[in-house]
Structure 1
Amino acid sequence: MQFGFSSYSFYQHLRTGRMSLFDVIDWIGASDATHMEIATVSLSPEISNDTSTLDQDPAFVQQVKTRAADQGVTLSNLVVPADLLGEDAPRHLARVKRHLDVAAELGITLFRHDVTRWAHRAKDIAEFEALMPRMVEVCRDIARYAAQYGITTSVENHGLLMNGGERVRRLIHLVDEPNFRTTLDVGNFMSVDDNPVVAVAENAPYASIVHLKDFYVRRQYPGEGWHHTPGGVYLLGSIVGYGDLDMRRIVQGIVAADYDGFISIEFEGIEECLMANPIGLANAKRLFAEAQAEAAATAGAAAGTGVAASAGAVAGAGAAK
């Protein structure tokens, strides 16, 4: 298992110009992390509107590739927003495919794209079902395009439409391409009031990469800056391990699924990111180490019980003779 960061975790300083993407790569290279995923929105002036030009700047792409290699940082995943259901869907689809070309150039083998804008919410399940054939068609098209590069594509449980554990799994099964999976964000299920402990455990077998994040959770309005879910819950990003998510059980669900890929910390809280990110990384490593040790101990105890039962059966058979 490899631990690292999304470039989004540094958005506070990327937006203000205090850090460049190269500074982020250097910081990660000097830390205990091993990889970085590039979220194109973190390269935009406004976090809510992706105006990045990574797909139009081959010189910059080569500089990023060289800097990561020099710092020993693996580029793990490329994260690109898209609205593939709206009026401008053809342009978004072309942009996604150009970014797949960029991912191949960077040596990135994982790629996450949206199917629609974050706030798109079906009025009811019938509307969602009506949209499903188009989502399947476009995700299959992208996955097949990516296959030429050996890239695995994915959708994230992100926003209000393609979110919730069952919806994500259903899309994966209907697309039915071997290189189409999910970017599993352990916190985003909360945005549609899905139970993250249950949803993570059920979706972990389909994960191409895991986003580890945490939230403060409140049932009454706490003040400005909190995200409001459809079910009336208020969320605010926190340092991994400091929030109200049951992170121990969430991590246990990932370990139980035998997931052994990239763990990408996606910090989106209000704490200073250069303080928050090392703490989150240390907490993540500790939580996974504890979960793995518990799983090994449980497996060992079960094996011991089986051996003892088998020995008892043999002894019993011998006595019967």
Structure 2
Amino acid sequence: MARESERTSDDQTRTPNAACSRRSFLELGAGLSIVGAAALPVNGSPVQVGASGADGGEAKRTKPNPIAVSTYSYWRYRDDSKLTIEECIDLAAESGFDAVEVLHVQMQDESNEALQRIKQRAFRQGLDLCGLSTHQTFVSPDPAVRRKNVEHTIHCIELAYAMGIPTIRVNTGRWGTSKNFDALMANKGIEPRLEGYTDDDGFDWVQDGLEQCLPAAEKCGVVLGLENHWGLGRTADGVLRVLDAVDSPWLKATMDTGNFLENQYAQYEKIAPETVYVQAKTYYGGGTWYTLEIDYARVAKILDQVDYRGYVSLEFEGKESHETAIPKSLAMLRKAFAV
């Protein structure tokens, strides 16, 4: 998402406690290949993904991508929008979404009782909890800072596990040389490196930090989705450099459609094969920091070409009231990602 949390440094100091008690999940890739696997039956006959249809053409999928909404869409760091997670779940159900993504910094209570209330609320509303959007940075020359962010990320993995959430959004982090987030956005997410250090240093720190999180991710069955979220992950090439270096089925990509500010469709195409989660920006009423024109039918086609079946999670980032903008966003995404 486009806003960095300015308040995570103090609450990222907790050491993870409750370790996941279930046996490690199978490797993500094992058994999950869907090319050539039977899809839902049509008139009693299974449709083979990638197989020829009755007319000799490629068979079509029978189920559209599920459309989710991030609680960020209601909250948006605005003083007049400080809704609870459970209130956001209720609003998502009223609007007709399939699932809800939870913004970690929005959570007011991380006790197990609170986590189970959130999970139960979604269940009773007929919604999946599909993602947990977290903040961290591994771009620091200080090993203690990087270790604190590793511990924070493992803590978030365990929160997701407790709520039955299958993926968390993670970041590379950034150099932190911008005056504030508004200044970073004014400079299109670009900032100077720390004096005396190189991008190679930063990428090494990111790789090391994420590799330390992988055992917890695998044990809990929670996929880390590295987002194109400013800093070293501002571009598809930056995200892919980390994924190639780490080379794990438990670290893949979260595609944020609003965070590629140049050559956006070419970058969507680059990152699409590694994408396990999509955050879809809309800007009704004009964007908070900028407004990006996004052709979602084109985005849907790019994702369909790599047979992406996963969630598309709305992140509304405009100035219009969420009461009107979010239903419009849902209708638009439903149309774009329809079969």
CA distance in 2, matches of 1:13, 1:141: 30
Q: Is the 8 A contact 2:72 2:103 kept in 1?
A: yes
Report the counterpart of residue 95 of structure 2 in structure 1: 31
CA distance in 1, matches of 2:208, 2:112: 30
Report the counterpart of residue 19 of structure 1 in structure 2: 83
SS of alignment partner, residue 276 of structure 2: strand
CA distance in 1, matches of 2:78, 2:119: 18
Report the counterpart of residue 255 of structure 2 in structure 1: 184
Report the counterpart of residue 108 of structure 1 in structure 2: 165
Report the counterpart of residue 68 of structure 2 in structure 1: 4
Gap change, CA 1:11 and 1:4, over 3 Å in 2: same
Gap change, CA 1:123 and 1:83, over 3 Å in 2: closer
SS of alignment partner, residue 264 of structure 1: strand
1:210 maps to 2:267:
no
SS of alignment partner, residue 129 of structure 1: helix
Gap change, CA 1:162 and 1:75, over 3 Å in 2: same
Q: Is the 8 A contact 1:14 1:20 kept in 2?
A: no
Q: Is the 8 A contact 2:297 2:336 kept in 1?
A: yes
Gap change, CA 1:285 and 1:118, over 3 Å in 2: farther
CA distance in 2, matches of 1:215, 1:30: 21
Structure 2 stretches of 5 or more lacking a match? 1-64, 178-190
Gap change, CA 1:93 and 1:13, over 3 Å in 2: closer
* Higher RCO (CA-CA < 8 Å; seq separation 6+): 2
Q: Is the 8 A contact 2:268 2:302 kept in 1?
A: yes
1:284 maps to 2:312:
no
1:158 maps to 2:226:
no
Per-residue CA deviation, residues 120-170 of structure 1 (Å, 9 max, x unaligned), is 63549x821222111111112212221001111121000132111111111
Report the counterpart of residue 317 of structure 1 in structure 2: none
CA distance in 1, matches of 2:300, 2:268: 9
CA distance in 1, matches of 2:254, 2:103: 13
Alpha-carbon offset, residue 251 of structure 1: 2.4
Matches within 5 A, 1:241-252: 244-252=293-301
Code of the residue aligned with 2:293 in structure 1: it is: D
SS of alignment partner, residue 68 of structure 2: strand
CA distance in 2, matches of 1:62, 1:172: 32
CA distance in 2, matches of 1:279, 1:285: 10
1:197 maps to 2:265:
yes
CA distance in 1, matches of 2:147, 2:201: 19
**Which of residues 316, 320, 324 is equivalent to 1:271?**
320
Code of the residue aligned with 2:329 in structure 1: it is: G
Per-residue CA deviation, residues 52-90 of structure 1 (Å, 9 max, x unaligned), is 555x42221121111111111100011110122334222
Count of matched residue positions in the alignment of Structure 1 and Structure 2: 256
Gap change, CA 1:14 and 1:24, over 3 Å in 2: farther
Q: Is the 8 A contact 1:196 1:250 kept in 2?
A: no
RMSD: 2.4
Q: Identity, % of aligned pairs?
A: 24
Q: Is the 8 A contact 1:122 1:128 kept in 2?
A: no
Structure 1 stretches of 5 or more lacking a match? 44-51, 217-221, 228-234, 237-242, 293-321
CA distance in 1, matches of 2:331, 2:79: 25
Q: Compute the TM-score of the two structures, normalised by the length of structure 1.
A: 0.73
- Structure with more of its chain in helix, by fraction: 1
Per-residue CA deviation, residues 20-48 of structure 1 (Å, 9 max, x unaligned), is 2211111112222110111113x1xxxxx
CA distance in 2, matches of 1:286, 1:58: 38
**Which of residues 135, 146, 158 is equivalent to 1:81?**
135
Matches within 5 A, 1:85-104: 85-86=139-140, 87=142, 88-104=145-161
CA distance in 1, matches of 2:309, 2:159: 26
Q: Is the 8 A contact 1:157 1:165 kept in 2?
A: yes
